[in-house]
């Protein structure tokens, strides 16, 4: 193992890791927003909203994220959407993970016992009040862990933007593999940085889950 | 430049060939990930400590890094040590090992969850530990994880698009080659998305069928 080389190139990987962190945070925030809208649509009283949300989930979960990303970045200009690679990466991957988060949130919400909703309606709360004060507080506790799984997948998923030449960790590793012919060393540097990010976020999710979980 | 989908049919042959390669790589990598997952689970649980610990470390490394990065490692790493595999084989190995690690985690949990009485009964009946494991415990554990492994297979189908970056001419790369000649990215990526969606539907149907058949005996 070429330790000297690793010590020489690792600062470039640190810079790239910062880009990976930015991509992760932005795609996860956009994904959560899409997930909230999607779950609201899936559970809506109006058939049209239910249909739109179901179509959204079905398309984005039924096709590869890489194809969605290429469609947006390379195909976008043909339909008047001009984005640079970073923007396309954030929007494409954020909307993609949002479809998975939609199902996570919906799953948590529908798992709340029907009797609770009936009881609070009987006590005179409106449909909206019931959702806000009874269903949602319980569902939010249930969704922390499964959303953590989505988030973990998304951090690794940011690697896809390497295919549209965003200089993040995987792209940097690929470039240095090409120029140094040391695939194992480069993989190890990038891998350790990914693991640090993922472990830190995993700890945060566990911490939040412990804080909010009901006894 | 507006949209013009009439260019797509003239590349139908190339795209359909891409579909076949996508299915081939998914099936091959799927099988590798299934049997590899069982093998990895047994190693992670029962191998001697000197094998078990480094093995778990490597598994942890693979669970925490992106598939794309692993594909680069396997493709360029094998060349480095003098093994020049065709891209297809490298893609199958990369995808298969990646998902084998995930399947192994599922199978390990299931093996631990199989009732202790099963092992004890098998041992009482005179089976060796190895026989009891292979003939009694593992089959039950594997049956229990068929539904989550089915979901893994669907994820594998979608992730098979990534092997296009190491030069496997499956559906994604076939679309890219057509785009290289026509400069019509939107049309061909949209066509590829539709084809993936159809493969996905077919695969889900097959998996649900397998699930129904294997979960009958419960």
**How many domains is chain A built from?**
1
- ipTM of this complex: 0.89
Q: Would you call B69 and A181 a contact, using CB atoms and an 8 Å cutoff?
A: no
Quote the pLDDT of residue A155: 95
Positions in chain A short of pLDDT 50: none
Average pLDDT, chain A: 92
Please give the residue range of the domain that contains residue A38.
3-212
Q: Would you call A68 and B66 a contact, using CB atoms and an 8 Å cutoff?
A: no
**Burial category of A22 from C-beta neighbours within 10 Å (exposed 0-12, middle 13-18, buried 19 and up):** middle
Give B90 to chain A, closest Cα distance, Å: 14
Put simply, whether A177 touches B (Cβ < 8 Å) is yes
Rounded CA separation A87/B158 (Å) = 23
Quote the pLDDT of residue B218: 58
**How many domains is chain B built from?**
1
Q: Are A193 and A14 in contact (CB under 8 A)?
A: yes
User: What is the CB-side half-sphere exposure of residue B105 using CA atoms within 13 A?
Assistant: 13
Q: Dig out the tokens for A61 from the structure.
A: 């979960």
Rounded CA separation B166/A66 (Å) = 14
- Buried b / exposed e over B104-138, threshold 16 CB at 10 Å, is bbbbbebbeebeeeebeebeeeebeeeebbeebbb
Put simply, whether B27 touches A (Cβ < 8 Å) is no
Q: Looking at residue A207, which CATH number applies to its domain?
A: 1.10.3720.10
pLDDT digit string, tens, across residues B5-50: 888 888 999 999 999 999 999 999 999 999 999 999 999 999 899 9
Please give the residue range of the domain that contains residue B86.
5-215
Put simply, whether B7 touches A (Cβ < 8 Å) is no
Q: Are B179 and B1 in contact (CB under 8 A)?
A: no
Quote the pLDDT of residue A182: 86
Give A14 to chain B, closest Cα distance, Å: 16
pTM: 0.90
pLDDT digit string, tens, across residues A125-160: 888 888 888 888 889 888 999 999 999 999 999 999
* Angle, helices B67-80/A183-212, rounded to nearest 10 degrees: 160
How many residue pairs from chains A and B have C-beta atoms closer than 8 A?
121
Beta-carbon contacts of B99 under 8 Å, excluding residues fewer than 6 positions away, are B29, B30, B33, B37, B152, B155, B156, B159
Interface residue of B3, B67, B72 to substitute, partner A, most A CBs within 10 Å: B72
Residue B179: count other Cβ atoms within 10 Å of its Cβ: 21
Positions in chain B short of pLDDT 70: 1, 216-218
Residue A124: count other Cβ atoms within 10 Å of its Cβ: 7
User: What is the CB-side half-sphere exposure of residue A50 using CA atoms within 13 A?
Assistant: 5
Residue B61: count other Cβ atoms within 10 Å of its Cβ: 17
Which residues in chain A have their CB less than 8 angstroms from residue B61's CB?
A: 191, 195
Q: Would you call B72 and A170 a contact, using CB atoms and an 8 Å cutoff?
A: yes
Quote the pLDDT of residue B1: 61
Q: Are B75 and B163 in contact (CB under 8 A)?
A: no
Q: Looking at residue B105, which CATH number applies to its domain?
A: 1.10.3720.10
């Amino acid at each position: 193992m070429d330790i000297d080389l690793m010590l020489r190139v690792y600062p470039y990987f640190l810079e790239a890791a910062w880009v990976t962190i930015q991509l992760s945070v932005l795609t996860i925030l956009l994904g959560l927003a899409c997930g909230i809208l999607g779950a609201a649509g899936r559970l809506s009283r109006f058939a049209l909203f239910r249909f739109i949300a179901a179509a959204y989930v079905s398309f984005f979960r039924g096709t590869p994220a890489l194809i969605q990303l290429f469609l947006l970045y390379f195909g976008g200009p043909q339909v008047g959407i001009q984005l640079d690679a970073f923007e396309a990466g954030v929007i494409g991957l954020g909307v993609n993970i949002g479809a998975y988060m939609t199902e996570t949130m919906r799953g948590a919400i529908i798992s709340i016992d029907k009797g609770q909703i009936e009881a609070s309606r009987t006590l005179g709360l409106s449909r909206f009040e019931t959702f806000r004060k009874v269903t949602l507080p319980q569902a939010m506790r249930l969704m922390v862990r499964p959303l953590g799984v989505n988030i973990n997948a998304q951090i690794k998923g940011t690697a896809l933007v390497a295919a549209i030449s965003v200089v993040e960790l995987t792209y940097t590793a690929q470039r240095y593999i090409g120029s140094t012919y040391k695939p194992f060393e480069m993989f190890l540097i990038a891998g350790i940085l990914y693991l640090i990010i993922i472990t830190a976020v995993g700890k945060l999710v566990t911490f939040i889950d412990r804080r909010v979980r009901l006894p | 430049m507006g949209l013009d989908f009439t260019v797509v049919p003239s590349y139908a042959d190339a795209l359909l060939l891409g579909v076949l390669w996508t299915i081939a790589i998914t099936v091959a990598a799927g099988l590798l990930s299934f049997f590899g997952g069982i093998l990895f689970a047994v190693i992670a649980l029962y191998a001697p400590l000197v094998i078990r610990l480094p093995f778990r470390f490597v598994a942890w490394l693979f669970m925490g890094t992106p598939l794309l990065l692993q594909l680069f490692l396997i493709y360029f790493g094998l060349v480095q040590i003098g093994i020049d595999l065709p891209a297809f084989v490298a893609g199958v190995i990369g995808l298969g090992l990646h998902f084998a690690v995930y399947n192994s985690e599922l199978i390990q949990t299931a093996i631990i969850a199989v009732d202790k009485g099963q092992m004890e009964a098998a041992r009482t009946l005179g089976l060796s530990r190895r026989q009891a494991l292979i003939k009694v415990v593992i089959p039950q554990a594997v049956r229990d994880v068929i539904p989550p492994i089915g979901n893994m297979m669907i994820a594998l189908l979608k992730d098979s698009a990534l092997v296009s970056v190491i030069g496997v001419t499956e559906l994604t790369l076939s679309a890219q080659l057509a785009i290289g000649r026509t400069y019509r990215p939107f049309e061909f990526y949209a066509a590829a998305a539709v084809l993936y969606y159809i493969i996905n539907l077919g695969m889900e149907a097959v998996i649900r069928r397998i699930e129904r058949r294997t979960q009958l005996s419960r």
